[in-house]
Structure 1
Amino acid sequence: MRDQHPPAADAPAAPTLTPERPSRPGPPAAVPTLLPPPRSAPVPAPHRPVPAAPASRARALAPWLRLLPGLALVACATRLPSFRLPLWNPDEGFLATQARLLAEGGALYRDVVDRKPPLMPWLYEGAFTLWGDTSLTPVRVAAVLAQLATALLVASLARRRWGSAAGRTAGLLHLLLSVGLNPEDTQAAAFAVFLLPATVAALWCADRRHWATAGAALAAAFLVKQTGAVALLPVLLLWWRAGGGGRDLARLALGGALPVLATALATDPAGFLFWTVTGSGSYASFSGSVPHVLARALVNAALLAAASAALLVPLARAGRAPADLRLWLGGSALAVVTGLHFFGHYYLQLVPPLALLAARALHRRPAVARAAALRATAGLAALFVLWGLLAPRPDTDHAVRLAHAVRARTAPGERVLVWSMHPETYWLAGRPPASRYLTAGLLTNHSGGRSGARTGEPYAVPGTWHVFRAETAADPPHLLVDDSRGGDWAPRHLPTLRTLLAERYRPAGTVDGARLYVLRDR
């Protein structure tokens, strides 16, 4: 048939079907690079730090979640004796009396004074405001938390340097060694215990080059107690090793100076400067019984050495320690020596660097020797805890009996003067003090171990007797308690107090050797 033609020989073959896309009009092949990427292609995002995945965060927290319960249990066990007594030492009594006056509207460094910065009185005041002012249980719970925080920071410092096992050891050692002194020094919820977390935090921040935060931690340590400032020495060494940059030093200085300046402005700047720095020269200078002070220094050093007995040989064999830890231990020893009083709670500043050095030393020993040293240290700590649970406290018993006598002879709100080194009588009796000076030490320069030539009115804090005369003349105390019990700071050695008693008061009995006097015109 004519309409059927065979294909021409040179005609192109029929196209075969392929999965390729059909051709479509468009620009030349080199241009598609200018087209937007397909919808399935990722669009580049600006560079930002990628947050850690939840799994990695959990892995980072896991060692601390395992460590925390154990350290918390040890902290509670070692601080258990602190809940046994209403008071452990005069520092607690001083702080409790201060806090009650502040809670009633008093002003620090004007209505009540002390040679210490204000952070601890404010802590007590806050606890009294929230939970009442008749018990120290809240601040003792806070003391447990302070020791736990210190142990965790010590553990973190050791872990960063020597590994997880050394971190666990260091945290445990801090808690065990922190009870290795007389219980009245270790169990009191006072300055030394709350000083420790701030000083360790300063080293922790400096070790990570957080200079402003390190300065703030140093400020907090100073505002608890002046000797906390010695932590500046190892912090400066770490700053120097990090390069010694001027900006970093400025951050450190500002971080430390601003909180102290703000605190001074929140109180009375002149009073803050006088009572925390310039007015403590007589207290810091040495005078008194050399044998008594030397015996106290040796006894407290021996107690801490006994608590550390299982660690002394590993420490001696550990070789040269890191310079910052040696400087930290040396600065803490300087804090112990300051004032040449050698009270037991001064030695607590030695514990964190000692725990770090001991952890380093133990982890250079075989595992069997390390475990034996830890068991021995735990056993020694248990003996100190048992001491705290069973030892009698005659000073506390005397203060309680005296407070009952004061309460029986006065009405609520009537002012009382307790001529004593134990201001806890005011707090226990629930009676306001008749003077801003809560102890006889501020008016006589008397303190533990100081006696004789440099005790009396001429050696008082400058200006205090003038203020004391004005206070007692304007509103004489309803009851005056002479609790000097024959000491060289007794009223018979002090003309002003002797005259006041002779002119205005008559005897009203004795309690445990303390003499009570009431106003003649009552």
Structure 2
Amino acid sequence: MSIAHAPRWLILLIVALAARAITFGNPILHVDEEFYFVTARAMLDGALPFVDIWDRKPVGLFLLYAPAAALGFPAGIWAYQALALACLVATAWLVMRLADRAGWQQGALAAGVATILWPNLIDGQGGQAPIFYDLLVIAAVLLVAPRSDRTMPGRLFARGLGAMALIGLALQLKYSVVFEGAFLGLWLMWSLWRAGARPVRVLLAGSAWAATALAPTALAWAAYAGLGQSEAWLYANFLSILDRNPDPALAQLANLAIIIVILSPLFASAWLGWRGRGKSSAARPLQSFLFAWAGAAILGLLVFGSWFEHYALPLVPPLAICAAGFWGDHRRFALIMLLLAFVGGQAVLLAKRATRGTPGEIAAIARAIGPGPGCLHVYSGSVMLYPMAGRCTVTPWVFPSHLSRVRERGAIGVDQEAEIDRILRQQPEWVVMRKPYIGERPEIRARMATAVKRDYRRVALLPLGKERYALWRRSTPPARSASSSE
């Protein structure tokens, strides 16, 4: 069977395997997913997110990682990366389905392949949250997208419930989905009104759809309230983000500029696809809906701020679909563009491997620490050292920058200096520190450095990519056993 006659899902799978091969089994693809894995592992050991181990991500994201974390290290790394690959391929397949329905069959495969390749360029090479929730969002889009036949109000209401249930699950992976969810909800209400429903019925349906979307989050809140931790849940999930200090404006604009450059082929192709739409096409309502979805995703990115590269991952599926019309008419251009995206993605992955470190380097650091009864505190560095070394933690604020970054001052529910002092009183057996980073509070680093130089001896200085990890071991026996937060 030639590649031209292979099933499209198989082509997508082959492309995904080739595009991500270099990442498989690497435990340090990105600091975010390292932390998701560590938090899921802590949950399985009895820790309660937002109380015993702290972050702002919804609990659903950690539950998603839990089955992989249950396999331990290193099997769990392969497991979550396999799940991420499966979700990415499924998303790409639904991208093709929507492109087909919109009358862009000739460019549908290119759109699916682009959905797989572009994440490598914007830090989506592993298990970032959008890799998982993009599948839920596009499945919701497929449910409510305009159809050629007239949809009766009752059927539209039922499809809306299904779509909002998917959005609700996606919200428990990351709350930024709210922008796309709001777009779909408003679209559904407008569609119901156009189908002949009275305003009161539209409002009632809209309320039901909103309640369905919010149900998983409300259930999480209720579960924490039942444990007496409602306040902790509310602060971590919603209120703390309001307390966080903004990054410098120039840094944010630089991040946004990088995103625009990387996605510019998708933006340009989608724009050309918009201009080239057929005015009499029966699929024109669906095409307009898909472009509106892309606009909602872009608005969500702009409103959310910070603009780290992986924040642009939700834009890839709708932009790829909207570009399919142009690519179908310019297939040679699409092929060249996809080849460049593949090669560029591999170059980016190799560069990040050299910068962030290799599995062998992080394994050497973990071996130098080794297992034992004493706890570990990673002041700055990879949190994957906790499961790799098998050491306990001494603080709920395991993600290092929460305790040392300027923008987190006053935004984590505890005073950073006070928590550093409390950690030092716990007398962890090992402390890991890397060199200062941009955005770090120098007084916090000085506080930690003074303590480790006084009470610890530096055992090793080991490389991890461009970094050097200083491993400090306590030089005197602790006065009492360090307690674990896990």
Q: Give TM-score, length-normalised by structure 1.
A: 0.74
Identity fraction in percent: 21
Amino acid at match of 2:398: L
Deviations 1:79-133 (Å, cap 9, x if unpaired)? 333316332111121112112212222221122121111222212211232x433
Q: How far off its partner does 1:508 sit?
A: 4.1
Q: Does 2:221 align with 1:264?
A: yes
Q: How far off its partner does 1:193 sit?
A: 0.8
Aligned to 2:73: 133
Is the contact made by 2:122 and 2:312 (CA closer than 8 Å) also made in structure 1? no
Is the contact made by 2:130 and 2:314 (CA closer than 8 Å) also made in structure 1? yes
Q: Does 2:162 align with 1:226?
A: no
Q: Distance in 1 between matches of 2:386 and 2:471?
A: 14
Out of 277, 301, 310, the position equivalent to 1:345 is 310
Give 1:141-152 correspondences, 5 Å limit: 141-152=82-93
Q: Does 2:208 align with 1:251?
A: yes
Aligned to 2:145: 207
Q: Does 2:264 align with 1:305?
A: yes
Q: How far off its partner does 1:252 sit?
A: 1.0
Amino acid at match of 2:264: A
Deviations 1:193-252 (Å, cap 9, x if unpaired)? 112111112222222731111111111221111111111233133213322423422331
SS of match in other structure, 2:102: helix
Q: How far off its partner does 1:385 sit?
A: 4.2
Gap change, CA 1:304 and 1:121, over 3 Å in 2: same
SS of match in other structure, 1:179: helix
Q: Does 2:474 align with 1:519?
A: yes
Q: Distance in 1 between matches of 2:362 and 2:72?
A: 22
Aligned to 1:293: 252
Q: Does 2:180 align with 1:237?
A: no
Is the contact made by 1:92 and 1:424 (CA closer than 8 Å) also made in structure 2? no
Amino acid at match of 1:436: P
Amino acid at match of 2:423: T
Gap change, CA 1:82 and 1:247, over 3 Å in 2: farther
Q: How far off its partner does 1:256 sit?
A: 1.0
Aligned to 1:324: 289
Amino acid at match of 1:270: E
SS of match in other structure, 1:259: helix
Q: How far off its partner does 1:171 sit?
A: 5.3
Q: How far off its partner does 1:469 sit?
A: 5.3
SS of match in other structure, 2:181: helix
Amino acid at match of 2:14: L
Amino acid at match of 1:277: F
Is the contact made by 1:89 and 1:184 (CA closer than 8 Å) also made in structure 2? no
Gap change, CA 1:141 and 1:388, over 3 Å in 2: farther
Is the contact made by 1:410 and 1:478 (CA closer than 8 Å) also made in structure 2? no
Q: How far off its partner does 1:482 sit?
A: 2.0
Deviations 1:487-517 (Å, cap 9, x if unpaired)? 5626644575466446644544533443333
Q: How far off its partner does 1:184 sit?
A: 6.7
Give 1:464-479 correspondences, 5 Å limit: 464-465=415-416, 468=419, 472=423, 475-479=426-430
Out of 411, 421, 424, the position equivalent to 2:371 is 411
Gap change, CA 1:108 and 1:276, over 3 Å in 2: same
Gap change, CA 1:310 and 1:250, over 3 Å in 2: closer
Q: Distance in 1 between matches of 2:327 and 2:358?
A: 45
Q: How far off its partner does 1:355 sit?
A: 1.6
Aligned to 2:196: none
Aligned Cα root-mean-square deviation (Å): 3.3
Is the contact made by 1:181 and 1:303 (CA closer than 8 Å) also made in structure 2? no
Q: Does 2:36 align with 1:98?
A: no
Out of 350, 356, 360, the position equivalent to 1:396 is 356
Out of 207, 217, 240, the position equivalent to 2:166 is 217
Q: Does 2:11 align with 1:70?
A: yes
Between Structure 1 and Structure 2, which shows a larger proportion of helix residues? 2
Gap change, CA 1:111 and 1:175, over 3 Å in 2: farther
Gap change, CA 1:308 and 1:174, over 3 Å in 2: farther
Q: Distance in 1 between matches of 2:80 and 2:306?
A: 26
Q: How far off its partner does 1:346 sit?
A: 1.1
SS of match in other structure, 2:378: strand
Q: Distance in 2 between matches of 1:486 and 1:358?
A: 39
Q: Distance in 2 between matches of 1:143 and 1:471?
A: 37
Gap change, CA 1:480 and 1:231, over 3 Å in 2: same
Deviations 1:167-204 (Å, cap 9, x if unpaired)? 57335414324423555712121212112111112222
329-338 or 255-264: bigger deviation: 329-338
Gap change, CA 1:221 and 1:455, over 3 Å in 2: closer
Aligned to 2:150: none
SS of match in other structure, 1:485: coil
Give 1:420-439 correspondences, 5 Å limit: 420=380, 422-439=382-399
Give 1:143-162 correspondences, 5 Å limit: 143-162=84-103
Q: Distance in 2 between matches of 1:323 and 1:306?
A: 20
How many pairs align?
438
Gap change, CA 1:173 and 1:323, over 3 Å in 2: closer
Q: Distance in 1 between matches of 2:411 and 2:452?
A: 20
Give 1:12-27 correspondences, 5 Å limit: none
Give 1:5-44 correspondences, 5 Å limit: none
Out of 314, 319, 332, the position equivalent to 1:354 is 319
Is the contact made by 1:154 and 1:167 (CA closer than 8 Å) also made in structure 2? no
Is the contact made by 2:430 and 2:474 (CA closer than 8 Å) also made in structure 1? yes
Gap change, CA 1:484 and 1:399, over 3 Å in 2: farther
Q: Which protein is bigger by CA-based radius of gyration?
A: 1
Is the contact made by 1:286 and 1:340 (CA closer than 8 Å) also made in structure 2? no
Q: Give TM-score, length-normalised by structure 2.
A: 0.79
SS of match in other structure, 2:246: coil
Aligned to 1:278: 239
Is the contact made by 1:95 and 1:120 (CA closer than 8 Å) also made in structure 2? yes
Is the contact made by 1:412 and 1:431 (CA closer than 8 Å) also made in structure 2? yes
Aligned to 2:413: 462
Is the contact made by 1:185 and 1:344 (CA closer than 8 Å) also made in structure 2? yes
Q: Distance in 2 between matches of 1:406 and 1:74?
A: 33
Deviations 1:255-302 (Å, cap 9, x if unpaired)? 21222222333455433322221111244x5332x4443333222321
Amino acid at match of 2:413: P
Q: Distance in 1 between matches of 2:22 and 2:122?
A: 10
Amino acid at match of 1:186: G
466-475 or 209-218: bigger deviation: 466-475
Gap change, CA 1:391 and 1:398, over 3 Å in 2: closer
SS of match in other structure, 1:126: helix
Is the contact made by 1:484 and 1:490 (CA closer than 8 Å) also made in structure 2? no
